[in-house]
Chain A
Amino acid sequence: MWALGQAEDMPHDHSDHPHALLPSDPALRVKALETILTRKGLIDPAALDEIIDTYQNKIGPQNGARVIARAWSDPAFKEAILADADPVLAELGYYGRQGEHMVVVENTPTQHNMVVCTLCSCYPWPLLGIPPGWYKSDAYRARAVREPRKVLADFGVTLPAETAVRVWDSTAEVRYLVLPMRPSGSEDLDEDALAALVSRDSMIGTALASAPSGGSGSITGGSS
C-alpha cells in the first residue's frame, strides 16, 4: 500500500502543490484535468455523464421522503428503522455510497435533531442526494454545533423553549437522517401525500415538515 506521509520525500505539506500547475479558473481546472485523464484512458467521459445523471435525476431527497412517509404511516416500520436502519433501507434499495451505515433519529416535542459535518461535508447520499451549498458552507459547518438555534433562525425556524436541540456531528462513516414530527392535519393522508410534506431540509433538521395546507409545520401540534 502506498504510504502517504511515510516516505521521506513525500511530506504532508507542499509549498508547491501540483494543483497550481493547472489553470486557476476552477471550470478550466476541471476541464484540463478531465482532458488529461481522458487522453490517458483513466476516465471514461460516459461514466462521468452517468454519475452526474445519477445524482441529478435518480438519487435525491425523494428517497428519504418516502422513508419518512412510511415511518409516519407504519408503526412497525418506524420501530424497525429507528432500531436498525441498514437492513430496512437495503431492502428498499436505498443503500450505497455515503449511506453504508445509517442511523435515523426521531424528533419529538422535547427533542429536535439536526445534522452537520464540521470537518468536511458528510451527508447521506442514497437518501438525500448531493448536499446543498449551505450544508457545505463554512458558516453552517462552523456554527451548527455551537449555536444551532441561531442557525435554525436563519432558516426561519423557532423551537419552543421546552425542546432541546441535539446536533449530530458526522465525524465517522455513520450517516444520520432526521425523522421529523408528523405535522398536524395530516392524519388522513396516504404515503404519497405525506412524502410531499417532507422536505430535504426537514430530514437534515434545519426545517420542520410542512403542514398539509402548504404552510409551515407546527412543532407543538405535531404527532409522531
Chain B
Amino acid sequence: MSRVHDMGGRFGDGAVMPDAPNAPIFATDWHGRALAVTLACGALGKWNIDISRHARERLSPKDYSRFSYYEKWISALADLLVETGVLTREDLRGQDDASVHALASKALRAEAVAAVLAKGGPANRDSRITASFTPGDRVKTRHPGGSALVDGGHTRLPGYATGACGEILLQHGAHVLPDSNAHGLGEAPEPLYAVVFKASELWTHPEHPKDEVVLDLWQSYLEPAPEGAE
C-alpha cells in the first residue's frame, strides 16, 4: 500500500552529505532547465501542485529510486503532459508536427515570471467543515494509512506516522486536501493542524526521551485519542 517516496524512518540510506561551501545552486545547467521547464508548464493550467507531486510519486519504484531529483521532475512532467493531452506520445518521439499549440496563449512569458513567482499559490480556503480539535487535544492518526478516497492514491500522512497518538500543537486554518485535489476530485478544504508526536511513539529505538516529531495533518487523518492513551 505504500509508495517508495514515503521514506521517512527508512533504514539503510547511509550518511547525509552536506554540500561544499558556496556550492552552485544548480549543480549542472540541466538542473536549472528542468526546474524552469516544470514551473513554466504549470502556467498552462492543466494541473495543480498535488497532481504534479502525485505524478512524481507514481514513477515506478525502480525509476524513483534510480532517478536523481530533477530527473524525477522532468520525467513526471513528460508523463503529465501526455496524460493531460497537452502532448502526444508521437510528440515525445520527436514526430510532432511543429504547429503552434492551442494552449500557446497560456505560455508563461518572461515578463510575467516575477509576478507569477511572487503571487504563489496559497492553499488556505474557507471550509464548511468546522475544526474538531484545538491545541492541547490528544489525537490518533488513521491506521491503516493510505488515501481514503482512491486506492493507491495520493496522501500526505506518512506511513511512519499512521496509528500514532499525538497532541494538537497549532491550528493552520482550513487547507486544500491533497488526497482529493491530486485526483481532480475538488479541493475539499478541511482544517489542518500541526500535530506533535513523541519520538518514542513513532520509533522502536528513539534517540532521546525528549525528542519529538511534528507533522501537518488534515482533520480527516485524525480521530480523538482513546481514553488513557499516552
Contacts and interface: CB of A to CB of B under 8 A. Distances in A.
B229 interface: no
A201 B76 CA distance: 29
Contact of A130 (B15, B26, B157, B172): B26
B164 to A, nearest CB: 12
Nearest to B149: A5
Best-surrounded residue of A21, A36, A146, A161 (most CB of chain B within 10 A):
A146
A47 B113 contact: yes
Contacts of A80: none
A42 B44 contact: yes
Nearest to A21: B92
Given A39-B96, A42-B103, A169-B215, A31 B30 contact: yes
Given A36-B91, A143-B16, 6 more contacts: A26-B67, A30-B37, A52-B32, A97-B120, A101-B123, A139-B16
Given A136-B69, A170-B216, A119 B18 contact: no
Given A26-B70, A139-B14, A171-B157, A13 B28 contact: no
Interface string A140-166: 111101111111001100000100111
15 contacts: A27-B30, A29-B71, A36-B91, A40-B99, A101-B175, A132-B19, A138-B13, A142-B9, A142-B13, A143-B13, A146-B160, A155-B16, A167-B211, A172-B216, A174-B194
Contacts of A149: 207-208, 211
Given A101-B122, A119-B8, A41 B36 contact: no
Contacts of A165: 207-208, 210-212
B214 interface: yes
A133 B157 contact: no
Interface string A49-64: 1111011100110000
B63 interface: yes
A154 B15 CA distance: 7
Contacts of B70: 26, 30
A40 B85 CA distance: 14
A49 B29 CA distance: 11
Contacts of A173: 49, 122-123, 175-176
B40 A43 contact: yes
Contacts of A142: 7-11, 13
Contact of B94 (A32, A143, A148): A32
Best-surrounded residue of B15, B59, B94 (most CB of chain A within 10 A):
B15
B116 to A, nearest CB: 8
B162 interface: no
B75 A19 contact: yes
B54 A138 contact: no
B188 interface: no
Nearest to A133: B19
Contact of A96 (B41, B59, B119): B119
B26 to A, nearest CB: 7
Contact of B184 (A6, A60, A166, A170): A6
Contacts of A46: 109-110
Contacts of A129: 25
Interface in B6-63: 6-11, 13-19, 23, 25-30, 32-37, 39-41, 44, 46-47, 49, 51, 53-54, 56, 58-60, 63
Interface string A115-138: 010111100001001101110111
B113 to A, nearest CB: 4
Nearest to B185: A3
Interface in A47-91: 47-52, 54-56, 59-60
Contacts of B29: 27
B158 A54 contact: no
B122 A100 contact: yes
Contacts of B75: 17, 19, 22, 29
Interface in B58-85: 58-60, 63, 65, 67-71, 74-79, 81-84
A29 B73 CA distance: 11
Nearest to B53: A120
B35 A154 contact: no
Given A5-B150, A52-B35, A148-B207, A36 B110 contact: no
